[in-house]
């Protein structure tokens, strides 16, 4: 025993010394970049969120005061409520459309499949700013498409930029932009299903609907989950569309219309960088929690 120990000890020591460096050499470059562009900004945001800068009195450490303010800030919660409503309504609609289009293309019964696929995907290639400006012009009831239609046919269509309809109008823009993107995720998931399954189903006498229901949809579960999580994050980050439409709906889009827009306004108009960082972090944590819950639920179903 004693002999064996004497032999083993230096070996352990040597391998311990070796182990600590080789791995780091491989991950080192990644870790350096990751720290610099990823962890550092987050750390800096957290650092900022612990201070308060006043026009009169300068900067002081306030601990978690900013977080306390944010959690009881009615403007923050109203912006959160708005994106939550957006999420609950827009995301299912968008994903359903994307799913239907993907199934339609995959069915092989569509004439001009490649053209159809590209044209549905094309809006995703249009920058969000351009897309919003374009839709904004169409929505205009004074000088836009809606206005022209009203003039030409003597109608009075509801104003898409009114307080009642604006969120739905933004949902329409976002759906237009991202349905094609999600369609592509679904379509590529459908493509990896082995054709032998379809053959087997046909031999068993299954119709197309039955194949969709029993083979395609279950196979899409993973893709659906990832698309849902992307969409949740996208909804919570809603910014470009309200920021651009602000010029057309000055009074409807408040400075706290969405959490991100609120953070932007706090920082750029109110010079409350500290509180802005707090709002961003709170929102980031909420997003993480919700994304995680959806993921856990999705994974459990898959088992």
Partner 1 sequence: MTFGRRRLLLSGIAMAASLALGASGCGSSGGGSKSDTSGKSASVSDADVQAALNAGGSITVWAWEPTLKQVVPAFESKYPKVKVKLVNAGSSKDQYTALQNAISAGSGIPDVAQIEYFALPQFALGKSLADLTGYGADKLTGTFSPGPWNSVHEGKGIYGLPMDSGPMALFYNKEVFDKYKINVPTTWDEYIQAAEKLHAADPKKYITNDVGDAGFTTSMIWQAGGKPYQVDGTKVAINFGDAGTQKFTTAWQQLISKKLVAPFESWSDAWFKGLGDGTIASLTIGAWMPANLETGVKAGKGKWRVAPMPQWQAGGTATAENGGSSLAVTAASQQKKLAYGFLKFADIDDGVKLRVDGGAFPATTATLQSPDFLGAAPAYFGGQKINEVLAQSAKNVAPGWSYLPFQVYANSTFNDTVGKAYISGTTLQDGLKAWQEGSIKYGQQQGFTIK
Which of 288, 237, 285, 287 lies closest to 263 in space, CA to CA? 237
In whole angstroms, give the CA distance from residue 151 to residue 207. 49
Q: In this complex, which beta carbon is closest to partner 1, that of residue 175 or of residue 276?
A: 276
Considering only 163, 168, 202, 210, the residue that binds partner 1 (CB under 8 A) is 163
Under the binding rule (CB under 8 A), the answer on residue 77 touching partner 1 is no
139: left (phi over 0), alpha (psi -120 to 50) or beta: alpha
Under the binding rule (CB under 8 A), the answer on residue 71 touching partner 1 is no
User: Mask: binding to partner 1, 225-244, rule CB under 8 A, as x and -?
Assistant: xx--xx--x--xx-------
Residue 193: φ, ψ to 5°: -70, 130
Considering only 59, 130, 148, 213, the residue that binds partner 1 (CB under 8 A) is 59
Instruction: Report the 10 Å Cβ neighbour count for 296.
Output: 10
Helix axes 273-302, 74-106, angle to 10 degrees: 40
Considering only 79, 106, 256, 258, the residue that binds partner 1 (CB under 8 A) is 256
Considering only 108, 143, 191, 204, the residue that binds partner 1 (CB under 8 A) is 143
Read off the tokens for 255.
């400075």
Considering only 13, 19, 54, 210, the residue that binds partner 1 (CB under 8 A) is 54
> Which alpha helices (DSSP H) does 110-258 contain, by range?
113-125, 128-139, 145-153, 166-191, 195-203, 208-211, 217-219, 221-236, 240-245
Considering only 44, 81, 125, 210, the residue that binds partner 1 (CB under 8 A) is 44
Considering only 98, 190, 244, 280, the residue that binds partner 1 (CB under 8 A) is 280
Stretch that binds partner 1, among 93-101, 102-110, 202-210, 245-253 (CB under 8 A): 245-253
Considering only 23, 28, 41, 127, the residue that binds partner 1 (CB under 8 A) is 41
Q: In this complex, which beta carbon is closest to partner 1, that of residue 58 or of residue 112?
A: 58
Q: In this complex, which beta carbon is closest to partner 1, that of residue 9 or of residue 142?
A: 142
Which residue shows structure tokens 């969405």?
A: 258
Please give the C-alpha separations between residue 216 and each of 102, 106, 188, 212, 241, in angstroms, as whole numbers.
11, 10, 12, 5, 34
Under the binding rule (CB under 8 A), the answer on residue 78 touching partner 1 is no
**What sign does the dihedral 169-171-173-179 (CA atoms) show?**
negative
- DSSP string computed for 108-124: T--TTHHHHHHHHHHHH
Under the binding rule (CB under 8 A), the answer on residue 35 touching partner 1 is no
Under the binding rule (CB under 8 A), the answer on residue 74 touching partner 1 is no
In whole angstroms, give the CA distance from residue 266 to residue 281. 14
Under the binding rule (CB under 8 A), the answer on residue 150 touching partner 1 is no
Q: In this complex, which beta carbon is closest to partner 1, that of residue 120 or of residue 281?
A: 281
**91 near 299, Cβ under 8 Å?**
no
Q: Which residues bind partner 1 (CB under 8 A)?
A: 38, 41-42, 44-45, 48, 51, 53-59, 142-143, 162-163, 219, 221-222, 225-226, 229-230, 233, 236-237, 247, 250-252, 254-256, 260, 263-265, 267-274, 276-277, 279-281, 283-285, 287-288, 291-292, 295-296, 298-299, 302
């Amino acid at each position: 025993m004693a002999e064996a120990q004497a032999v083993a000890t230096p070996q352990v020591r040597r391998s311990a010394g070796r182990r600590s460096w080789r791995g780091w050499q491989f991950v080192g470059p990644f870790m350096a970049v990751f720290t610099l562009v990823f962890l550092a900004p987050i750390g800096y945001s957290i650092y900022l969120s612990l201070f308060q800068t006043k026009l009169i009195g300068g900067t002081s450490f306030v601990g978690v005061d900013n977080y306390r303010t944010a959690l009881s800030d009615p403007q923050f919660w109203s912006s959160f409520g708005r994106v939550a409503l957006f999420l609950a309504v827009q995301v299912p609609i968008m994903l359903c459309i994307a799913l239907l289009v993907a199934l339609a293309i995959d069915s092989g019964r569509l004439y001009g499949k490649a053209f159809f696929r590209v044209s549905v995907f094309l809006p995703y290639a249009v920058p969000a700013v351009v897309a919003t400006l374009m839709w904004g012009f169409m929505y205009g009831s004074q000088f836009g498409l809606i206005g022209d239609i009203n003039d030409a046919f003597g109608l009075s269509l509801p104003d898409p930029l009114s307080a009642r309809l604006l969120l739905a109008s933004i949902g329409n823009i976002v759906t237009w932009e991202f349905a094609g993107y999600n369609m592509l995720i679904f379509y590529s998931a459908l493509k990896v299903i082995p054709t032998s399954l379809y053959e087997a189903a046909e031999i068993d006498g299954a119709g197309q609907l039955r194949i969709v229901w029993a083979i395609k949809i279950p196979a899409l579960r993973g893709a659906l989950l990832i698309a849902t999580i992307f969409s949740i994050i996208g909804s919570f980050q809603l910014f470009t569309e309200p920021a651009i439409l602000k010029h057309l709906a000055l009074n409807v889009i408040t400075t706290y219309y969405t959490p991100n827009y609120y953070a932007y306004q706090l920082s750029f108009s109110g010079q409350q960088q500290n509180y802005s960082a707090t709002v961003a972090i709170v929102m980031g944590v909420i997003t993480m929690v919700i994304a995680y819950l959806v993921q856990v639920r999705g994974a459990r179903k898959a088992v």
